[in-house]
Chains A and B, each alone.
Chain A
Amino acid sequence: MKRALKLILSLATIALMTGTLASAQTKKYVYTEASELTITGKLMDTPVPYHRVDTVVFKGFTKSENNQVRNSSGLAIAFKTTSTRIMVQTKYGEVGWPTNTNGISGRGYDLYIKKDGKWLFAAAGVSPDKNLEKPLDLIHDMPEGEKECLMYLPTYSEVLSVKIGIDPGSTIEPLANPFRYRIGIFGSSYTHGSSTSRAGMTYPAQFSRETGLQMLSLGCSGNSKLQPYFADVLAAANVDAIVVDAFSNPSPQEIKDRLFPFIEKVTAAHPGMPLIIQRTIYREGRNFCLSADKREARKMAVADSMMAIACKKYKDVYYIKPCATSPRRDATVDGVHPDNFGYHLWASSIEKPIKKILAKYGIK
């Protein structure tokens, strides 16, 4: 009798386990293409919704720039869902493998959920490098009920399709853009998000969450050099203000040659709109490397002197000075790029100056 009971119990356990495994493996999630929800942070319309610039319309970019403007850095998907789980299935185009930026930021997703009126970090993840397009279980076991979500897209990859999966029977719908205005921001690797550890930690993303003002990123690593073809993109963008991190990449000579024409092209297309240009930051790599210190100091001096003229010469042009240096001087990954905390300091340092300028234009 005991033996029979044991056998029945064992069989029941096996059946239960098999059932559980089978349900976990075969559970079908309901997928929605992210572009059918609300995309925030987009500078302009593009045929591929996760590109930042239409490289068929805008020409002049190098191969590397072409790839970069097709990266999804700065874009985020705003949606509401009652699901307790969020899956992400991605079809990648050009994938970035930077050594100073981890896989979660370069190729992965970063989810925030609104709680008590504030965006609170919820989860971040990426599928394994060897199986990047495997569905990603971004978060599970969330509480029941409707949640307002903001999911940042990869900083250093081109994504051709992003499908968001939810539990069968739950709902997903677009969330009205939670951010106000449209502030274009063109910049270097700093603006692109190099050395961040997840996509929501770029300084434009932090600025948007903190202030509610929407930044539309056109960060292009190593390639923010006041080029006229980037000015063409900014000229065509539908924006309320423009912020530029324009002095981190160009040489002093490029600054001298290109700054004024760049300003003139952009302000001509957007008369009466504020154009806020940022000084570059202090690089911790200057601490002991004489050539880096000399090069950076010279670049800053040239930018300072040119901007002193520009602010007098052109109406609606402003110069602000960000800071990404922590008291311990530790907020860097590679001596050039800040870490998440350095970018937090950057966002904090520009918040007041930018808001003050924007307020003059009724942007609050």
Chain B
Amino acid sequence: MKRFIAFVSVFIFALSTFAQTPKDVKYVFTEASNLNIIGKISETVNPYHRVDTVKYKGFTKTENNQVRCSSGLAILFKTNSTVITTQTEYGFLYTGTTTNWVAHRGYDLYIKKDGKWIFAAAAVAPMGKEKQNTVIIKNMDGTMKECMLYLPLYSEEKSIKIGVQEGSTLEPLESPFRYRVGIFGSSYTHGVCCGRAGMTYPAQFTRHTGIQMLSLGCSGNCKLQDYFANVLVDAKVDAFVFDTFSNPSPEQIRARLFPFIEKVQAAHPGIPMIFQRTIYREQRNFDTQCEHDEAYRITVADSLMNIACKKYKNVYYIHPNASAADHETSIDGIHPSNYGYQLWEESIEKQITKILRKYGMK
């Protein structure tokens, strides 16, 4: 019996050693778009863009760059490789100071375990070596795993190659997420100040509820513009969520809200349009001008949405929250931290699922 136990132990040890990634591993690369891309609001020529900027016009130069960023997109695949790498050909690259490199140009990997998506790894190529084959995770066991790889928040990619160990399998994973909920929003929705790409509130919402959000977050540029409404009009969606009161001036809200609703609704009769109030910015704690401006903007939005919810069928107004009791969940006084975005997601989860249920979405 002792001999048998010893044999089994040696066998298990050998197996676990075998599962380690060899030092001289040979990679096989697959273009990520040949797997399963989720979170995409519309078809594009470059699969990692969110909007086809040849087809849709009117965007400023910044907006053009932003809708080509891959925020909100993720790649679903199955693999039994012990190692996963990425090799990226970047287009536009963000150079701001509020969001770290892991989030704005790196990758964030989740793997399913016991029916839940669990964080596995997040990584980015070193500065100045952006094209380098970058190990996201290695030394996993060799069992088949269901993976979800979030793409960079604030970068444009022309090509993303996923590398696995030679001899292992890599294949598309069918999306476990239900429905198509378009979400148009500001830097909050884009993911500014997230610590990694999977921590945007739409991404957290999708993981937590199983309901797929399709992000069109554009930092500083969600102002109820007519040309963004054109994109939403053509989108194949079951519902819309908006974070449309974080960027526009009160005057822009007054002038644009109703025409925006009417245009989108005419194209999508009978689907819910859920508008979010903007959140409390911690900058308001001591900046009296900011306090005044933000309070005024919220008042204008509240009053117009009060009318909109009565005037238009299927239009809703919900109130998110990204502030903790200790007011510590901000990075720069405007944008929440990962945890602030978690609070945001938690605060809208019930409100949104309750509305969606009315439309048969569960």
Interface set of A (CB-CB < 8 Å, partner B): 97-104, 107-108, 113, 115, 120-126, 128-129, 139-143, 147, 195, 197-198, 201, 206, 284-285, 287-292, 326, 328-335, 339-341, 344
Contacts and interface: CB of A to CB of B under 8 A. Distances in A.
Interface stretch (B191-199, B296-304, B306-314): B191-199
Contact of A290 (B20, B331, B338): B20
A128 B96 CA distance: 8
B97 A288 contact: no
Contacts of A142: 286-288
A195 B339 CA distance: 13
Q: Which of A147, A197, A292 has the most CB of B within 10 A?
A: A197
Given A100-B100, A104-B98, A107-B97, 17 more contacts: A99-B101, A121-B285, A121-B327, A123-B287, A124-B330, A197-B337, A285-B121, A288-B118, A288-B120, A288-B140, A289-B121, A289-B140, A290-B20, A292-B139, A333-B338, A340-B328, A340-B329
A334 B328 contact: no
B32 interface: no
B118 A344 contact: no
B16 interface: yes
Contacts of A329: 118-119
A240 B276 CA distance: 51
A313 B127 CA distance: 47
A292 B44 CA distance: 39
B153 interface: no
B288 A330 contact: no
B127 A102 contact: no
B97 to A, nearest CB: 3
Contacts of B285: 113, 115, 120-122
Nearest to A197: B331
Contacts of B97: 102-104, 107-108, 126, 128-129
Contact of A288 (B16, B121, B332): B121
Given A285-B121, A289-B140, A102 B100 contact: yes
A201 B121 contact: no
B338 A340 contact: yes
Contacts of B140: 288-290
Contacts of B337: 197, 201, 339-341
B120 A287 contact: yes
Contacts of A195: 100, 195
Nearest to B199: A330
Contacts of B98: 102-104, 197
Contact of A291 (B113, B138, B193, B289): B138
A120 B137 CA distance: 39
Contact of A121 (B99, B121, B139, B328): B328
A330 B127 contact: no
B333 to A, nearest CB: 5
Nearest to B291: A141
A137 to B, nearest CB: 11
B206 to A, nearest CB: 13
Contact of B102 (A122, A143, A289, A334): A334
Contacts of B120: 287-289, 335
A291 B95 contact: no
A124 B138 contact: no
Interface in B1-45: 16, 19-20
A331 B282 contact: no
B331 A198 contact: yes
Interface in B116-150: 118-124, 126-127, 137-141, 145
B265 interface: no
A333 B104 CA distance: 12
Contact of A335 (B95, B100, B121, B330): B121
B101 A288 contact: no
Q: A-B pairs with the 7 shortest C-beta distances?
A: A103-B97, A341-B339, A99-B101, A291-B139, A141-B289, A333-B195, A197-B331
B339 A339 contact: yes
B139 to A, nearest CB: 4
A287 B139 CA distance: 11
A332 B119 contact: yes
Interface in B321-353: 327-333, 337-339, 342
A359 B218 CA distance: 51
A139 B195 contact: no
B193 to A, nearest CB: 6
Nearest to A340: B337
Contacts of A340: 195, 328-329, 331, 337-339
Contacts of B95: 129
A334 B122 contact: yes
A129 B329 CA distance: 24
B255 interface: no
B290 interface: yes
Given A102-B99, A103-B98, A333-B195, A339 B338 contact: yes
A331 B137 CA distance: 18
Contacts of A290: 16, 19-20, 139-141
A288 B137 contact: yes
Contacts of B118: 287-288, 329
Contacts of A126: 97
12 contacts: A102-B97, A102-B99, A120-B327, A123-B332, A129-B97, A147-B286, A197-B193, A290-B20, A332-B122, A333-B122, A334-B123, A335-B121
A99 B113 CA distance: 28
Nearest to A124: B332
Given A122-B286, A141-B287, A289-B140, A99 B333 contact: no
